[in-house]
Amino acid sequence: MFSSSAHRESWEQRRLDLHKLKTANHFSLFIVFGFFLFLLSNRVDELRVYQGASVAVFVIAISSIILLTGYSGQVSLGHGALMAIGAYGAAVARNELHIPIILALVVAVLLASVGGALLGAAAARLSGPYLAGTTLALAVGLPSLANQFAILGGEQGLVFDVGSPPTKLGADFTQYKWFFWIAALAALISMWLLSNILRSRYGRNWRAGRSNEVAAQLSGINTGRSKILAFTLSAGIAGLAGALLSMTIGTVSPSAFPLTLSFSLLTGAVLSGVSTLSGVMIGAVTLVAIPEIADVVANRIGSSENITTNLPGLMVSTLLILAVLFVPNGPVEQHRARTAKKAAKKKS
Amino acid sequence: MKAMNRRKLFSVSAVLAAASLVATAIPANAAEVGVTASEIKLGMTLPMTGTASLGYNKIPGAAKAYFDYLNANGGVNGRKITLIVKDDQYVPTQAVTKTNELILKDKVMALLAPLGTANVKAVASSVNPAKRGVPVLFVNTGFSGFADVKKYPTTYSILPSYIMEAKIMGKYIAENLSGKKVGLLYQDDDFGSDALAGFKAAGTNFTVKVPYASGSQSAATAAGWITKFKAAEVDVVILFGVTSASLYMLATAAALKYSPQWMIDSVGGDSTTLKLAGVPAGVLYNAIGFSPVPATTDLTDEYVKLFSDIYAKAVPGSAFDLNVLLGMNSAFMTAQALKAAGQNPTRKSLMAVLNTKGSTLFNSALSPVGYTGTSHVGLTGEWVGKYSPTGDLLPIGGIYTTYTTDSGAGAVVKSTYKRPAMPAKGLTN
């Protein structure tokens, strides 16, 4: 009896150690990745640096969808609206209070989280198409609310200027590289936090609730609260992405957050694989690369304007259909499942 | 565990190294960016798809039609002009992304005719063409702020500012419609605040002013506007907005049989676009309209005749309208400025030409542009017309009377400008 409990303790201790080890390892992996990004940003031309910043923004935005949909099992068609809340929050705080950019980003996260908590409270009572409808309405309606308040600058929006890069970085240090540094650092930090949260008790609760809500409740999980928490956290991350998106375009306006933004984020999440965070780069890079690839293809086949303007949409849709057909859980999960199967076969 | 991480690390670094190798090869440029021995590259972003593209998506085809015509006749100093067009869907994020591609990847010499106040502003603050020294020629917005050389040193307006237009409208009302109750529909942003400033300068009083949000017009919102105008019992309704606003207003008014004296601004009053979108010509009939360029149906005008011939050959089946005329006019002015910028034009010499000789460039409009070293004001006047029974805007009494003014406190006066004869075949090379 005694010995078995001691055995259990040591087993749990080992698991805990393993968990810590994993966290630490991940941490160093993120540091190394960050260092590579830093080196890379010095090697490539300005356009790639700008695209890199866009990828980082999409990584953050898509990961917030993956957290919400893949882990906690809730659908949101309205993440564009949550991004808008963050963007407006950051811009107003920066313009009115002249706070440093890092604080403006914190404001973005906090404001969007509050919005997400409110939405989440409603969302916890809804599911499936009803939840999709509610969030969709938000995406349609919320950004144009900015037209009602003078402080939000109407249709023209607000200037959101994060300032020039510090002079000690040198005269050659471009504005876009500065954007990239800020966005990439934010992406690395939020991905590290997220990947840890998802492996924590909360992450397990979310997955339990998603798999079988009744079973989760029976095992003592307050699924309602758990869902609201997921929505709040997801909204906070979306708000960060929104603020960073506005940083890259220098302004915040309702038209920067169209319905298509929410949809393309979902597309990115499906391409990444909604149930795993590790594929998020795939979706983000695809969203940024597709228009450029489309451009090249259209030029090669001697395009008319019609082809050039419609090709990106066609390519994204085709990819989406292919992904749903062949890698419904995303390429990363698919690969993992296949290797696991192979390993199992080898064993037997 | 460790082995796996190492493998991950290895593959990540391999991918990154490969990516950086691919991305480093940038060719060196000897001459000006976008100018080679045989070609001058220009770039344009504007809505080609989406609701906001209505009518405006003809502008690139129009500009290309003129450039192709010019190229077929020898180009500019032996160089052909290539126009690269990208669709921004009227979304600032896209406008910035696409402009970045034009400047950094396609390496265009200058940007031509980008559209929309919000988009031009976003591009100015993120891409910052001013800092890069990239000229932004003939922006398709009448926002008076873009004429500010200090704020937008490389940006050139072309449309008369909304302030000028409102002042000219105000003068017309004072002279012809005094004592009438006037209502105003305006866009709730810089577009509208320009309009209000102009009407204030002109001393126009409104019985009712109805603001609308630029992103949200529909038949239902238009019905709401009409209720307000009806309640105020106005005789004259001024539509000071974009094409989609005039479109919903006029179409809904037709359905509700509401017919005050309409007065429509130039950017929202292109009759071809309105009629194609379903506004009956009868509703337009007798409305008062304004335009900086000759009536697009006026084939006695040498520019309209030539441009519509060129356009009909280049884009068969597409109607010649105000957007086409303005697009071709901008291309025509660009070609002249490039020609005047010297044997080997640079971004700097191109802007120097516009600053010093901009107002002398041939131009189909009935007023000159107001470029000087200290101002980038575009066209400085408009004529007043009435829509015909077929819904076409024609000058009152068949004669163009152009009024000219500024964006400040200056008076509105009849223009004495005599447009110089068009260069032979519309070519200056």
Q: What percent of chain B has pLDDT over 70?
A: 92
Q: Comparing A43 with A5, which gets the higher pLDDT?
A: A43
Q: Where exactly are the structural domains of chain A? A: 23-258
Contact by Cβ (8 Å): A94, A161: yes
Residue among B101, B97, B163, B153 nearest B130 (CA): B153
* Inter-residue contact B117 to B189 (CB < 8 Å): yes
| Cβ of residue A29 closer than 8 Å to a chain B Cβ | yes
Q: Which of A27-36, A174-183, A191-200 shows the lowest mean pLDDT across its residues? A: A27-36
| Domains recognised in chain B with CATH numbers | 39-159+298-379 (3.40.50.2300), 162-292+385-394+398-414 (3.40.50.2300)
The whole-angstrom distance between B282's CA and the closest CA on chain A is 33
Could you report the per-residue pLDDT of B400-419, keeping only the tens digit for each? 999 999 888 888 999 889 89
pLDDT of residue A293: 86
Kindly tell me if the per-residue pLDDT of A9 is higher than 70: no
Q: Do B190 and A33 touch (CB under 8 A)?
A: no
Give the residue on A whose Cα is nearest the Cα of B49. Answer: A309
B94: distance to nearest CA of chain A, Å? Answer: 8
CB count within 10 Å of CB A149 equals: 11
The ipTM, to two decimals, is 0.76
The CA–CA distances, whole Å, from A222 to A76, A114, A216, A229, B108 equal 21, 20, 8, 11, 58
Looking at the predicted structure, is the pLDDT value of residue B424 above 80?
yes
The per-residue pLDDT for range A92-127, each reduced to its tens digit, is: 999 999 999 999 999 999 999 999 999 988 888 887
Determine the pLDDT at residue B24: 45
CA distance B382 to B160: 8
With CB atoms and an 8 Å threshold, state whether A155 touches B5: no
**In chain B, what residues touch A281 (CB-CB under 8 Å)?**
none
From CA A41, how far away is CA A43, in angstroms rounded?
6
| Cβ-based interface (< 8 Å): residues of B facing A | 1, 5, 8-9, 12-13, 16, 19-20, 23-24, 26, 48-49, 60-61, 85, 87, 89-93, 96-97, 100-101, 104-105, 117-118, 121-122, 124-126, 128, 187-190, 213-216
**pLDDT > 90 in chain A, percent:** 32
Collect all residues with Cβ–Cβ distance below 8 Å to A322 and sequence separation of at least 6.
none
Say whether residue A195 is in contact with chain B using an 8 A CB cutoff.
no
Q: Is A258 an 8 Å CB contact of chain B?
A: yes
Closest CA to A256 of A168, A337, A326, A153: A153
Mean pLDDT score of chain A, rounded to an integer? 85
> Are A144 and B215 in contact (CB < 8 Å)?
yes
User: In chain A, count of helices (H) and strands (E)?
Assistant: 13, 2
Which of B91, B106, B190 to substitute to test the interface with A, most A CBs within 10 Å? Answer: B91
Task: Tally Cβ neighbours within 10 Å of residue B197.
Answer: 18
Q: How far apart are CA A285 and CA A58, in angstroms?
A: 8
Q: Is B305 helix (H, G, I), strand (E, B) or coil?
A: helix
Whether B49 sits inside 8 A of A29 (CB atoms) is: no
Chain segment B320-374, per-residue pLDDT in tens:
999 999 999 999 999 999 999 999 999 999 999 999 998 889 999 998 888 887 8
Q: What is the DSSP letter of A165?
A: P
Residue A35 Cα, gap to closest chain B Cα (Å): 10
Query: Per the CB < 8 Å rule, is B214 touching A155?
Result: yes
**Mean pLDDT, chain B, as a whole number?**
88
Q: What are the tens digits of pLDDT across the range A263-283?
A: 889 989 998 888 888 888 889
